[in-house]
Homo-oligomer: A and B are copies of this chain.
């Protein structure tokens, strides 16, 4: 059976320091990330011509998932966590070879670094490949969404009192609201009284949800 070792060519850095709150797909938010390349791949020539593309693919590793956790079916959080789907019918991390796939917007090319927006990768995630997004091959708007269609629903209306909003820089607040609007809660949790706390960009953010609204109750700077 064919096998070989793949190694990190770059690592992503952003404000998503925990799984809770990390978007479940790419393109749902405007969060910025820096992709920092290993020395070997940091020559600007590696990216020659990439500036003509607006979007790029990242092939990356679910590095927090232990090896050999494969099971034929998984329970996608977006389906409430109690419906089983085949692992190859999902984008679940618990898959053979633990490879992730995301398209992001290319914002800037610097020596040894690409700045992108819209990633759904946690800070520190290893990246194995970067490819240009080629719409004539990659874009199929008429493809059927399958059961994943459900994920576009359930966008929350985020409510934040002005005095709390003032405690966090504007550009971080904008992304925070996008992240929360996606409803980061595990879907099998619908206890409306529960207060959740999420880390984001050096802050701890507390909130509760009363569908279709999400209320931010506190933002505290982390030490």
Which A residues have a C-beta under 8 Å from some C-beta of B? 1-9, 11, 25-28, 38, 40-41, 43-50, 52-57, 59, 61, 63, 67, 70, 72-73, 84-91, 95-99, 101-103, 126, 128-149, 151-152
- Report whether A144 and B54 are in contact in the complex, using a CB–CB cutoff of 8 Å: yes
In the complex, the count of this chain's copies comes to 2
Contact partners of A141 in chain B: CB under 8 A: 135, 139, 141
- Report whether A140 and B146 are in contact in the complex, using a CB–CB cutoff of 8 Å: no
- Report whether B89 and A53 are in contact in the complex, using a CB–CB cutoff of 8 Å: yes
Alpha-carbon separation in the docked complex, A169 to B199 (Å): 62
Known contacts A25-B137, A136-B148, A139-B143; A129/B97 CB under 8 A: yes
Alpha-carbon separation in the docked complex, A16 to B154 (Å): 44
Can you list 17 A-B contacts with CB-CB less than 8 angstroms, sorted by A residue number? Answer: A1-B8, A1-B38, A3-B8, A4-B98, A5-B5, A26-B137, A27-B137, A43-B72, A46-B72, A47-B88, A49-B146, A49-B147, A53-B144, A101-B101, A102-B137, A133-B143, A139-B143
Contact partners of A148 in chain B: CB under 8 A: 53, 132, 134, 136
A22 CB to nearest B CB, Å? 14
A118 CB to nearest B CB, Å? 10
Contact partners of A57 in chain B: CB under 8 A: 101
Alpha-carbon separation in the docked complex, A44 to B88 (Å): 10
- Report whether B63 and A143 are in contact in the complex, using a CB–CB cutoff of 8 Å: no
Alpha-carbon separation in the docked complex, A59 to B138 (Å): 13
Contact partners of A5 in chain B: CB under 8 A: 3-6
A111 CB to nearest B CB, Å? 12
